[in-house]
Amino acid sequence: MFSQGNGLLFKDFLIDPHKVPKGGKVLLSHAHSDHVKLSKKAEFFATPETIDLVKERFGDAKFCALEKNKKHKIDGFEMELSNNGHILGSAQAKFSADGKDFALTSDFRLQDSLLFCGAEPLKADTLVLETTFGSPEYVFPKQIDVANEMTTWVEKNSKKGLVLLAGYSLGKAQELTKISNDAGVIPIVHDSIFESNKIYEKHGVKLGKSLKLDHNLKDSSVLIMPPQLVDRHLFATLEHFDKRKIFSALATGWKHRGAFDETFPLSNHADYNELIEYVRQSNPKLILTDHGFCEEFARKLNKLGFNAKPLKQHKQKMLGEF
C-alpha cells in the first residue's frame, strides 16, 4: 500500500511531500520544512497544532484538521493519528485497509521530553520506521537529565556573561526557552523562534516568557538563535559590541561541536536503542526503514529476526509487491 516518490503514498494519499504536490489529498505529519510543501491545488490534513505552525511558517492553503486518537474515514480507508513525541502537533499515523494495518512513525521520540510525553508504539502488520539515528553510536541520555544539566549550565554562565543557545527554531528552541526560564532568565529569541513560541503557548504548552530580538541584547543574559545563523563571526561581533564574554552551546543529537563551547545531546528524535524498542513493541510482519541510517538499521533488524527493508531501495513499488 505504500510507495515512495514525492514523499510516501498510501493508496492515493500523499504523506509529507518533498516537492509541491500537484493536487489530491496530503497528510502533514508535522511542521518541519523537510516535511511540508504547500500547494493551492491540494487539500492538506494535519493536527490543529500543526496547521497553526504551518500557516505561520509557510502560509495558507486548504487545510482539514484531524484530532489525535480518533478514527477518520477517508477515501475508503481508516486513519488514526497519535502522539509521536517529536514537536508540537506532530503525529504518527495508522492506516487500516483491506483487513491490514499500516503504521508510519514519521520523526518520533519514545522518551518523555521537557515538554511532551513520548510516543506509544503502534501495532501494525507493516511499519514505516523513521531511522534518523539508526546507528549504535547514537545513544542518548535521558532527555530530562540533559535538560537539567543545561539549566544548571545556563544558570551558572548567565551570571558571568551572555549565554548563546543554538537550536532549531521549531521544536528545539522551545525547549531552550523553557530551560532558560527554569534557569531564572527570560531569553531573547530570534523572531522565527518567537512566533513559534506564541503558537506553543496558544496550545497550552508552558514555556515561560521570551523577548523578541530587536537591538535589545542588554535586556537579557541569554540569546537563543537558529544554528544556521551562528558562527565564529557572530561570536566575535557580539563580544565586540555587547562587551560581555560569550558562553555558547548547541543542542543537537549529532556529534558536532564546531565553534560552540558545549554541545548537549538534546534530541527530538529516537536514538538507536529506542528504535529497536519501538520495533520490539510493535512487532510488525514487515518494517520499512526510512531516512538516516535506513540500510544499516534494516540489516540490524534482520539479524534480530525481523523482516526489514530500506524503503529507499524500493521507490516505485507498492507494499503488496514485497
Of the candidates 226, 249, 264, which is a domain's last residue? Answer: 264
Query: CA 68, 70, 75 angle in degrees (round to 5)?
Result: 105
pLDDT tens, position by position, 211-244: 999 999 999 999 999 999 999 899 999 998 999 9
| Residues 80 and 110 placed together within one structural domain of the fold | yes
Taking only the tens place, the pLDDT of each residue in 270-306 is: 999 999 999 999 999 999 999 999 999 999 999 999 9
Is the pLDDT at 317 greater than 50? The verdict is no
Q: Extract the C-alpha cell encoding 255.
A: 556529534
Q: What is the CATH number of the domain that holds 165?
A: 3.40.50.12650
Maximum Cα interatomic distance, the chain, rounded to a whole number of Å: 66
Mean pLDDT of 70-85: 94
d(CA 26, CA 182) in angstroms, rounded, equals: 38
pTM for the predicted model, two decimal places: 0.93
Query: Residue 149 and residue 131: Cα distance in Å, rounded?
Result: 27
Per-residue pLDDT tens for 92-137? 999 999 899 999 999 999 999 999 999 999 999 999 999 999 999 9
Asked if residue 131 and residue 280 are part of one domain, the reply reads yes
Residue 148 shares a structural domain with residue 226: yes
Q: Which domain holds residue 182?
A: 143-264
Whether residues 216 and 253 share a domain: the answer is: yes
Q: pLDDT class for 321, splitting at 50, 70, 90?
A: very low
For residues 254 and 155, membership in a common domain is answered with yes
Looking at the structure, do residues 167 and 188 belong to the same domain, yes or no? yes
Answer for the pair 16, 7: CB distance below 8 angstroms, yes or no.
Answer: yes
Rounded to an integer, the average pLDDT of 175-188 is 98
* Shared domain check, 211 and 118: no
Single-letter code of the amino acid located at 96:
S
Neighbours of 64 (CB within 10 A): 14
CA angle 186, 187, 192 (to 5 degrees): 135
Q: Are residues 180 and 92 in the same domain?
A: no
Distance CA 275, CA 272 (A): 5
Mean pLDDT, the chain, whole residue set: 93
Task: Identify which of 210, 207, 155 has the alpha carbon closest to the alpha carbon of residue 183.
Answer: 155
- Is residue 6 domain-shared with residue 153, that is, in the same domain? no
Asked if pLDDT for residue 313 goes beyond 80, the answer is no
Q: What is residue 4's predicted lDDT score, i.e. its pLDDT?
A: 57
- 162: nearest Cα among 219, 115, 80: 219
280 and 260 fall within a common domain: no
Q: Is the domain of 30 the same as that of 125?
A: yes
| CATH code at position 8 | 3.60.15.10
**How many structural domains is the chain composed of?**
2
Of 264, 285, 309, the last residue of a domain is: 264
Asked whether residue 147 falls in the same domain as residue 296, the answer is no
